[in-house]
Structure 1
């Protein structure tokens, strides 16, 4: 019986070695996606001082060429918000979990089938009190045609696709946080300018009423000014609501219910971006396109796996026992393969071929969608840049000059007080429009960076 046991142990070890030495492999650690801060004062430029360069020769344009722009430090608070989003945003958590799922599938795809160990008894009680043939068996399926290697390669491409999809999720999340923060800063700046205008007109209304009482202004001027004062007060309320909504939307973009205190910050007046043609080239290497390419590679591997599946695996069973009738050890070996007569996996092969065609088309589809996003963002960016140049070189200097001239007239003659208010309103509105346009510029820049992913 001891010899039978020794034989059984040797057979178990021999049959189990393929399972122990299976072709599973441990994938590399997933790449880290750094939180790259977009350097983004909503304060409009100061009026042009006397003796400054004439229009058309301004040396400090709103948006300079990329080659002339020095790196601008990240504005306060953004890095903290991005770090909070990285830790708390559910989209990022879900993307990371999908990467873990893909890695688990890759490990599983390369594991060898487990052997089966069991008891075998034959011819029991053939004679009076005869135990017959008592022993055990080991059954093992041997995988052929490199199926495990092919399945592992396909699953590894799936891990790569999940990794790139997680990177895309990060860049989209970071762009939403940046855009929401830009909107918050813009709303705060617009509120400050609107409140300043409201205070100006409230004081102007008191002054106009005194001038009317002294016969130096007409009553209809006071009425008109009162209407404008009420309208500006209404705009203050709207600006405050915008700030509150921007703060809530910023919390949603970060992925939290409520944000901690947000650091004060302003949008710098310059941003460096690549040219459109260079940006289009960058989109071809973006995570969106690379994820689609990895999915196509995975589909290609799955097609190959479907094609080799009809190749039969080898099934073996080895039995060792002791015949108590003849008092002699015995052994038997069975080897079999399934014949692919009826099922040659043709349906799964056809489905895998269709998936591969769709996945390969998805690569170009991802590239076109990224280019479409980029084209819209660049249109908004270029439009905002053109308007900013116009505000800096024409609108704001002219509005400031008009106010200065009217102030001189009022200071010299004591006349046209209401005109001074109008000039201040025009200048303040120009500053508000400048601020909003600057916010639009940075929102477009955040979208462009999400697509081009510089520094990845």
Structure 2
């Protein structure tokens, strides 16, 4: 990757003196301003409120009753009723809410990983589009040089006007590619701005990717850390949540007891008596059996979903690493041999055409080979970046994962 980065970086410096947006700046801006992440952070407070509410005991109830509406003979009763939860309902509610609180924290971590991966992908997408535009401009210079060389030989009578036509056709094709590259760069920049969640008027370009991609750990190490991923930890916690919900539904089978204390006064007898009462529903028909069954099946479903997530992650990790290794092998081949050889072929063909040793078809063929090699090189970098982003999306910070043992 060194060849293209130094090559493109020099062109960037010459093209613009404005400050470049770095990866760290893009990440900091996204974490501070991305609206989706800001909305997700409120889930922590929501879960805290749910946990607090789950621990509250039922409120007492005050009732007033009158028997006989005549003033001289009526009897009035004032009672205080206090529901008492039986069967561990309050503890079961707290358990469910606590699991949800833990899940909110892990879900926020997962969304931060996703946002980090999205920013990296958009950043390197903008960087790749920027490099493709620079290479298109260099290809334009190459095509214009070919036109000048062909026109010089035509004017001196050493070449046919057909050579000039071929050079013009090549130049037109390169100009079309340049316009496409300009459009793609603008689109990539807008995607980066969107995922960052804030306009970045102080920056007109991204850095030249001088910060290379970190080394991705081997498959054995990644697979050994799969249980530590936010997705699997969340899936495991969802099993615990379903189990806690099942426990709550089982506790709901036991009816609550209501204790009543009060005072009754009779106008007719001019006497006040104390009133004490107990009440409890009879679980004759509704024993919450339907909700218990549904909660048990949800727990089974959560276990299967967790297993499915692990299987999918293992497959994604292996295929992603294969893509990473393939792309990096291609990048090394382009760096070491393909790009230098293609550039040398263009220089040789152009000098040979100027001296009359080659025809212009050789020059065009060499130019097209170099342009194609540059495009394939950028594509290999994009594929390597995509693999890196997919690992980031699963594990979070790959650099931190590489440093940890």
Which range, TM-score by smaller chain? Answer: 0.7 to 0.9
1:230 matched to 2:172? The reply is yes
SS of 1:140's partner is strand
* Structure 2 residue corresponding to 1:265, chosen from 207, 218, 225: 207
Q: Which residue of 2 aligns with 1:220?
A: 162
Confirm or deny that 1:137 pairs with 2:79.
yes
Question: Structure 1 315/242 Cα, relative in aligned 2: closer, same or farther at 3 Å?
Answer: same
Aligned to 1:149: 91
Correspondence for 1:387 among 321, 325, 330: 330
- 1:158 and 1:298 in contact (8 A); partners too: yes
Q: Is the 8 A contact 1:410 1:416 kept in 2?
A: yes
- Please report the TM-score for the alignment, with normalisation by the length of structure 2: 0.84
Shift of 1:124: 6.7
* Alpha-carbon displacement from aligned partner over 1:148-186 (angstroms, at most 9, x marks no partner): 111110121122223222222221122122111111100
Asked whether the equivalents of residues 235 and 302 of structure 2 are also in contact (C-alpha less than 8 Å), the reply is: yes
2:4 paired residue number:
43
Q: Distance in 1 between matches of 2:80 and 2:396?
A: 56
Normalised TM-score (structure 1): 0.76
Report deviation, 1:379.
Answer: 2.7
Q: Match of 1:364, SS? A: helix
Q: Counterparts in 2 of 1:389-428, with a 5 A limit? A: 389-403=332-346, 416=358, 418=360, 423=366, 426-428=369-371
Could you report, residue by residue, the CA deviation over 1:71-113 in whole angstroms, capped at 9, with x for unpaired residues? xxxx943233223333443432343344443333322222211
What CA distance in whole angstroms lies between the structure 2 residues aligned with 1:99 and 1:296? 20
Q: Is the alpha carbon distance of 1:407 and 1:271 closer, same or farther for their aligned partners in structure 2, counting shifts above 3 Å?
A: farther
Specify whether residues 99 and 361 from structure 1 end up closer, same or farther in structure 2 by C-alpha distance, changes over 3 A only: farther
Q: Give the Å deviation of 1:381.
A: 1.3
Aligned pairs for 1:42-441 (under 5 A) are 43-44=4-5, 76-122=21-67, 125=70, 130=72, 133-134=75-76, 136-255=78-197, 259-260=200-201, 261-268=203-210, 269-322=212-265, 328-403=271-346, 416=358, 418=360, 423=366, 426-441=369-384
SS in 2 for 1:43: helix
Of residues 371, 377, 389, the one that matches 1:446 is 389
Distance 1:190 1:41, change over 3 A: farther
- 5+ long unaligned stretches in structure 2: 8-19
RMSD: 2.9
Question: How far did 1:293 drift?
Answer: 1.1
Match of 1:31 in 2: none
Which of the two has greater helix per residue? 2
Paired residue secondary structure (1:332): strand
Q: Take 1:334 and 1:432, find their aligned partners in 2: how far apart are those partners? A: 86
Do the aligned residues in 2 keep the contact of 1:407 with 1:420 (CA within 8 Å)? yes
1:24-66 per-position Cα deviation (integer Å, ceiling 9, x unaligned): xxxxxxxxxxxxxxxx9783467xxxxxxxxxxxxxxxxxxxx
Q: Distance in 1 between matches of 2:38 and 2:66?
A: 55
Residue of structure 2 in register with 1:53 after alignment:
none
